[in-house]
Chains A and B, each alone.
Chain A
Amino acid sequence: MKAPPMMMVLWRSTSLTMRWTMLTIAVLIWSASAICAMYLHAREVVWIAAIVDGYAGLFAGLTLLAPSLLLAVDARQLRIPRMHNVVLPGMIFYALTLAAIPSILLTLAGGEFAGIFAIQMLGLTAGTALGLLPRSVAAVSGFVPVLVSSFRPYLALPHWASGGLFCVLAGVALFCSVIAVRWRRQLRSVDPYRLSASRALVMQNRSQTMGWHRWGGWGQSRDSALAMQTVPAWMLPKADLNGTGPRDPARSLRVALGGWLLPITWHSMLLRWVSVLVPMAIIASLCARSAGVSILSLLGLIVHGMTFGVWVWLAGYGGAALSLVVAVTLQQRWRKANAELPLLALLPALGHGWPLVRNLLRASLLRVLTIQAVLLALVLAVALIQHVDAWSVGIALLGQVAAAGIALVFALSNFGGVSVPKWSAGLIAALCFGLVGFDNVCMPFFSPSPVLGGSSTVLLASAWMLVILALGWMAWRGWCGVQRRPHPFLPA
């Protein structure tokens, strides 16, 4: 096969929406960072622009390069000859192109090509590796801004002269090794399509309901009912049916909606907490032993040492993640015509009209909004204690409002039958997590002074405002739909 068509195979095999969305976002980020670097005339700005481009590269690696595995796996399973020889060179070609374009742009703006290129490759390989690792590993991807902020004082910029470049290159080599190992393992698996927790993230996200040849699963949530088939029964939470029935429609609706909204027994709750707290306690005790202090002293030191930025990150990231869990659950329930919707629509004694909608909103939002309120109170209390400036408090507040808004928007949109694209939850998540990450540019973890000046704070606040306005508009559309519909249990 000739080179140009060979390169097109990989391009065409990615999801149409995803490749154009990702490409548009990448071009916008590249252009914006190059323009900033060109006109701000500060050496530091070029490196920040390179890191921002690298961050975009991480998502490009995750959404454009890693899904090449699907093509390779399918080609192997279908015994299509020479396809593998097309996929790998194609991947390398796209990786180099995606790294070269921003590097050239920033070099023209006065940057150092080698260092910038290394950062881009680090982002791309990290993203690709993330896509090839199990889904559970992806959960820690949200910690990337924290890690970058945490190690910022110890990391040197990747100049030729300093050791920073080799540090970044070592990272690239590490991610390349992970990619090679995971690629080989997934490709040679006896049944790569089998549902299991160790499958690559891209294999997990392959849409289960749209046929195995379709790669449109990106940005869509995995069906929770299907997911339950892969988990042993004893690990699944046990529903607590006490108090359900016509006397408490809201609690009954929580049972019917399932997922994170499901009321569970004390035994299940305990099991869930133990499975989270025990590993944390082990890690904490190891850290305490190495530091020569007790666990309680260590905890005290951590809490005492936590800056406002850390609290903002914890509350913002945690709040948005919780809202997304609710949003995805509701989206799944309102997508299926043969599951909970017909059951609820024909279940007597659930109520009608506004009381029913109120109960539905209570069932889906009360818990998540209570947690958001607690997080907000915590952030405000810390701000008061640490005498944080008004701008930082404002940004933290906006972030928390946006996080809470996600759950409300998806609830109203689903109940009101307003069409929300399946990938929208993923897009909003990326947007919020991205902005929460950028919050730490203004409120760094280990320093009271911001990385960038006042203008970036204004920009960040404006970005949050825009997100909130968009969410508000979506919520209004949903609310109009709720009022128009004869009952909320109609498919969205």
Chain B
Amino acid sequence: MNAVLEYPDNVSASPLTASGLVHCYEGSNVLTGVDLTLTPGSVLGLVGRNGTGKSTLIRAMLGLLEPLAGSAFVFGEPALKLSDEAKSRIAYVPQQPEALAWLTVQQMLDFVGRFYPRWDAPFIRTTLERWKIQPNRLLAKLSPGERQRVDLIRAFASQPELLVLDEPAASLDPVARRELLRELALRAGESGTTVLFSTHIVSDLERVASEVAFLHEGKLLLHCGVDETKERYARLWLPAKMTSAAPSQSLSRRRNQDGSLSLIVERDRYGQWPQASTMPGARIDALGLEDLFVEIAE
């Protein structure tokens, strides 16, 4: 982590910043130089296929693993050396949480709550009741969905300024998922909590996220506002005889069986599609978020 000492300009303003993060597992690259900055109060949905490094990116950004290169900052502090003050402003829920299985729900929440200055005990009582979780049950005996909900309660109860959730809806039923999204929207809207969550479920992202980031093959392919994606990105289809005119810059490129070419292209800084889109026979298709994700990830 040699880059910990270099502070990028946007570090102090952003709750969470990653710069040039590189990491690999058993020789295969998972992150290949990822830059990502969260704007305060935003809800960023991180999407990508399985194994693209979403969890690794989140963990590296929070200082839960040492990346091979690059740096991460939380509230302007190096992620690997956070102060207590910074820690008390963060809440993180891992994918399939398994911590403290030997405690009951109530014991775990009591224990963790002693460390947070703004612990919201009444919220716990009402939410446990609303989500029908018995406080005296041992965490080890809960189903994965119940376990995830308890950990979400733990995260919300600390009243964080930065909430990081790794696949929070993966084990939840549709009702619980809807409740989670509502809570997220409420926190972001009313308290100004900055949220980063990874997901496969694009509909969740459309419902709650203000920004979206696509992680693909260890790289962040795009990062923009959710509403912006439809305007900014599209599929450019070029017939076989015109493929030589295809722009060199594109997010994805796929040759179809008939020789035609499908590319995901972006408007330039003047708001124009690439030159090739104006050629006769070429076609620009607007894409929904899910289609865009599939086109890029395929």
Instruction: Give the B-binding residues of A (Cβ under 8 A).
Output: 224-225, 228-229, 233, 236-237, 239, 241, 244-246, 252, 255-256, 258-259, 262, 336-343, 345-350, 352, 485-487, 489-491
Contact = CB atoms under 8 A, between A and B. Distances in A.
B63 A246 contact: no
Given A345-B64, A349-B84, A338 B138 contact: no
A339 B63 CA distance: 15
B88 A348 contact: yes
Contacts of B63: 345, 486-487
B99 interface: yes
Contact of A245 (B64, B81, B114, B140): B114
A486 B92 contact: no
B62 interface: yes
Contacts of A342: 59, 62, 64, 92, 94, 99
Interface string B85-98: 10110111011111
Contacts of A258: 100-102
B141 interface: yes
Contacts of B82: 346
Contact of A343 (B66, B80, B100, B114): B100
Contact of A338 (B87, B97, B102): B97
* Majority SS at the chain A contact face: loop
B99 A486 contact: no
Given A245-B114, A339-B97, 8 more contacts: A225-B98, A228-B141, A258-B102, A338-B94, A338-B99, A340-B100, A343-B100, A346-B90
B115 interface: yes
* Majority SS at the chain B contact face: loop
Interface of B: 1, 55, 59, 62-66, 78, 80-85, 87-88, 90-92, 94-103, 107, 110-112, 114-116, 138, 140-141
A273 B297 CA distance: 58
A239 B100 CA distance: 11
Nearest to B74: A346
Given A487-B63, A487-B80, A487-B81, A343 B141 contact: no
Nearest to A230: B140
Given A347-B87, A487-B81, A228 B111 contact: no
Given A342-B59, A486-B1, A233 B98 contact: no
Contacts of B101: 224-225, 228, 258, 339
Nearest to A351: B84
A174 to B, nearest CB: 38
A229 B141 contact: yes
Nearest to A484: B66
Contacts of A246: 114-115
- Top 7 A-B pairs, shortest CB-CB distance: A245-B114, A486-B80, A225-B101, A228-B140, A338-B94, A348-B87, A348-B84
B64 A341 contact: yes
B16 to A, nearest CB: 13
Contact of B95 (A233, A252, A338): A338
B140 A229 contact: yes
A347 B84 CA distance: 8
A491 B65 contact: yes
A225 B101 CA distance: 6
B141 A233 contact: yes
A407 B95 CA distance: 30
A225 B99 CA distance: 9
A343 B90 CA distance: 11
Contacts of A349: 84, 88, 115
B141 A244 contact: no
A339 B111 CA distance: 15
B253 to A, nearest CB: 35
A49 to B, nearest CB: 44
B68 to A, nearest CB: 13
A237 B115 CA distance: 24
A237 B107 CA distance: 13
A337 B99 CA distance: 10
Contacts of A241: 107, 110-111
B66 A348 contact: no
A350 B114 CA distance: 11
Contacts of A345: 62-64
B62 A346 contact: yes
A363 to B, nearest CB: 14
A49 B95 CA distance: 54
B101 to A, nearest CB: 4
A343 B97 CA distance: 10
Nearest to B101: A225
A255 B1 CA distance: 31
B73 to A, nearest CB: 13
A119 B49 CA distance: 58
A375 B160 CA distance: 48
Contacts of A229: 140-141
A348 B89 CA distance: 9
Contacts of B100: 255-256, 258, 340, 343
B97 A346 contact: no
22 contacts: A225-B102, A225-B140, A229-B140, A233-B138, A241-B110, A244-B111, A245-B114, A245-B115, A252-B114, A255-B111, A259-B102, A337-B59, A337-B65, A338-B96, A339-B101, A341-B64, A343-B112, A347-B112, A347-B115, A348-B115, A350-B115, A490-B66
A490 B65 contact: yes
A10 to B, nearest CB: 30
A459 to B, nearest CB: 41
B110 A337 contact: no
A326 to B, nearest CB: 15
B3 to A, nearest CB: 13
Contacts of A259: 102
A486 B66 contact: yes
A24 B298 CA distance: 48
- Among A241, A336, A342, A345, the one with the most B-chain Cβ atoms within 10 Å of its Cβ is A342
Nearest to B62: A346
A425 to B, nearest CB: 20
A346 B16 CA distance: 14
A337 B87 contact: no
A134 to B, nearest CB: 21
A336 B281 CA distance: 54
A339 B114 contact: no
Nearest to A487: B80
B115 A490 contact: no
Contact of A339 (B78, B91, B98): B98
Contacts of A347: 87, 112, 115
